[in-house]
Amino acid sequence: MFGKEVTVGGWVQDVRNLGGISFLQLRDSRGVIQITTLKKRSMELFDLVASIPRESVVLVTGEAKQSKEARAGFEVLPSRIDILNKAETPLPLGVVDKVGADLDTRLNNRFMDLRKEEVRATFRIKSITLQGIRGYLSAQGFTEVSTPKIVAAGAEGGSTLFQVRYFDRNAYLAQSPQLYKQNLMATGLDRIFEIAPAFRAEASDTIRHIAEFASLDVELAFINSSEDVMEVAEGIVVNSLNHVREHAKAELKALGVELGEPLTPFPRVKYADAVEMVRSKGMKLEHGEDLGTEGEKLLGDVMMAEKKAELYFITEFPTALKRSTFYAKRRDDDPELTGYFDLDYKGQEIVSGGQREHRYDVLTEQMRENNLSLESFEFYLKAFRYGMPPHGGFGFGVERYVQKMLGLPNIREAVLYPRDRSRLTP
Ligand code: ATP
């Protein structure tokens, strides 16, 4: 390459002018190349370089020359520079500024924010994570499916439903594919998964809730218990972490993240024991109450301190707590408990699931307890009257997973264009 003519395109990150010589830092998707212009070689090019605003897009043609000083190991001595798109000044957001902008400013100018290597690295890793998940599930015989996102009824409670106008009727944006993935269990497509947006009109702004998130949903039939479901959840995490470790080395480095191997099998903590553990840390919590953000965090601290476990299951959730999850199977030996589980990662729930109730009579009774109108769930219920095998599954929040994997302070960092109560653009 050295001594040859090359053409490189990219963004003008910075220009340093030292009188007779100037250095233009040209950034592309792979890194930064130094363009060195000498006044004595071409006054015209030298003046042109001095006039280009930062972040403009240029095409540089010139000789590639080995250089010990340049970061890439070479520099380009230009014979021609074309400005393809001149950036306005001032910039709405600095790309190489030492002082970081606040998240809102960054999200308002996401295209600019993404020019930072470490911000792009998050989304490369998210993509590699999804590749790892798809690869694992496909190898395990799962079929990827797509279910409707415009639906007639919600499955996760009315308070977080987004209503939309659907021709001359009202409809909703799907909170989860729950009813459809269960419906598919009556078909012979025994092991399915879907990776698609889920929509929730979350009432409060938190660092782990957004109004539109990528939900990985898995459902499998002919299971014996929730253990069969947990095995798949654990397999997904272990295998996708391995995949990221192997295929995202540069991106992990850019973010300064070292991905350790999780302790396996993931430890299991019964809900009742989890309550005791967070109480021992001083939190006031009654048996039967949701651990909540604070409880989950405290439990994460205890699991780390005592077991060095970043990933662990919380099992045996009480029926009282999961009552609104009308499709959860209660234990035959103790109906006050479900076989439901959460998978938590560093003190935050990322997965929730378990064995579903597949017996029509019991299911409809549980729906009545929740004051649900059976008529509006007829399409769902029908499948339970004509041969529904035992089955189970889970919902897995992709962004929460990436957030915890990379230690991101806010889930919004793991979404290109997040949606929340106050954000509808960009
Ligand atoms: P939480 O109690 O944390 O609000 P949830 O119990 O409502 O979550 P589920 O309905 O069980 O969550 O959904 C399964 C998974 O989907 C969660 O474990 C989480 O990873 C993800 N998830 C749910 N709601 C959101 C949201 N608003 N934003 C991002 N991810 C979410």
Q: Which long-range contacts (CB under 8 A, 24 or more apart) does 225-230 make?
A: 225/339, 225/355, 226/315, 226/339, 226/340, 226/341, 226/353, 226/354, 226/355, 226/392, 228/392, 229/341, 229/353, 229/354, 229/355, 229/392, 229/393, 229/394, 230/266, 230/313, 230/341, 230/343
Distance CA 41, CA 22 (A): 12
341 alpha carbon – ligand 1 mean position (Å): 13
Report pLDDT for 49: 97
CB 37 within 8 A of CB 78: yes
Which of 400, 410, 420 for a ligand 1 pocket mutation test, highest count of atoms within 8 Å of Cβ?
400
CB 362: neighbour CB atoms within 10 A?
14
Q: Note the pLDDT tens digit of each residue in 195-232.
A: 999 999 998 899 999 999 999 999 999 999 999 999 99
Q: Span 234-254, mean pLDDT?
A: 98
CB 268 within 8 A of CB 303: no
Please enumerate in sequence order all residues whose Cβ is within 8 A of that of 30, keeping only pairs 6 or more positions apart, or say none.
none
Distance CA 230, CA 214 (A): 20
Return the SS3 of 216: strand
Q: Note the pLDDT tens digit of each residue in 354-374.
A: 999 999 999 999 999 999 999
Residue type, 80: R
Q: If you average pLDDT over every residue of the chain, what do you get?
A: 96
Query: Which residue has its alpha carbon closest to ligand 1 atom 27?
Result: 209
> Does the pLDDT value for residue 142 go beyond 90?
yes
Closest CA to 316 of 266, 350, 275: 275
Q: Span 256-276, mean pLDDT?
A: 97
Query: Which residue has its alpha carbon closest to ligand 1 atom 4?
Result: 209
Distance CA 95, CA 379 (A): 52
Query: Which residue has its alpha carbon closest to ligand 1 atom 16?
Result: 397
What is the DSSP secondary structure assignment for residue 156, as one 8-state letter? S
Write the DSSP string, 101-146: PPHHHHHHTHHHHTTSHHHHHHHHHHHHHHHHHHHHHHHTTPEE--
Report pLDDT for 97: 79
> Does the pLDDT value for residue 81 go beyond 80?
yes
45 alpha carbon – ligand 1 mean position (Å): 56
CB 219 within 8 A of CB 392: yes
Closest CA to 221 of 181, 185, 187: 185
Q: Note the pLDDT tens digit of each residue in 287-320.
A: 999 999 999 999 999 999 999 999 999 999 999 9
- Ligand 1 is surrounded, with C-beta below 6 A, by 156, 200, 202, 209-210, 213, 215, 349-352, 395, 397, 399-400, 411
- Measured from the Cα of 343, ligand 1's closest atom is 18
Report pLDDT for 153: 81
Which of 160, 202, 209 for a ligand 1 pocket mutation test, highest count of atoms within 8 Å of Cβ?
209
Report pLDDT for 71: 82
> Does the pLDDT value for residue 113 go beyond 80?
yes
201 alpha carbon – ligand 1 mean position (Å): 12
Which of 173, 213, 394 for a ligand 1 pocket mutation test, highest count of atoms within 8 Å of Cβ?
213
Report pLDDT for 39: 96
CB 217 within 8 A of CB 393: yes
Report pLDDT for 69: 84
Query: Which residue has its alpha carbon closest to ligand 1 atom 14?
Result: 395
Q: Span 245-253, mean pLDDT?
A: 98
Report pLDDT for 233: 98
363 alpha carbon – ligand 1 mean position (Å): 23
121 alpha carbon – ligand 1 mean position (Å): 24
325 alpha carbon – ligand 1 mean position (Å): 13
Residue 2: pLDDT band with limits 50, 70, 90: confident
Q: Span 147-151, mean pLDDT?
A: 97
